[in-house]
Amino acid sequence: MRGEEICLPFLLAPGHFQFMVLDDLDNASLYHPLGAKFKQALDFLCRVDPEGLLPGSHPIEGEAVFAGVDDYQTKAHSDGFWEAHRRHIDIQAVLHGEELIGIARTASMTGEPYDAEKDFQKLYGRGDQILMRPGQFAIFFPQDAHMPGLAVGQPSSVRKLVIKIRID
């Protein structure tokens, strides 16, 4: 470690990550050393006004970093599906409401063929869950399968922000 560098526990080597991240927005600046795109994305997330941010697409840095906001009803686990992306890292944050997100390693799953145009792969398997509430964020890397939008008990309304960071 040189000078002021921060050694984050999930970094194995530049560009190689050990596992997904779940943290509080108060700690977002700890992830700035991951690069300029992470800093832009996390600064946007920390500045966002949940009441004023309308559903739809929100550019941050062209196609390299952009956000999408959606309002939806959470769903039963049986209605969810696993997904993963190869060209984007997701930073997800619930702005209103709460939801469970399934988490697993893509290596432990089977899947349908990867759709390069949509940067999407539907997967099958089992995993764990995390609870997402306002004031938190999760980062999903390409090896992290996730199943978003799951109900905590009964289905409920959620407003969610997903920031995409292009990695290729």
- Tell me the pLDDT of the chain (168 aa) as tens digits: 233 333 344 444 444 555 799 999 999 999 999 999 999 999 999 999 988 899 999 999 999 999 999 999 999 999 999 999 999 999 999 999 999 999 999 999 999 999 999 999 999 999 999 999 999 999 999 999 999 999 999 999 999 999 999 997
Give 158's contacts (C-beta < 8 A, 6+ positions apart).
71, 72, 73, 74, 94, 96, 97, 98, 99, 149
pTM above 0.85, yes or no: yes
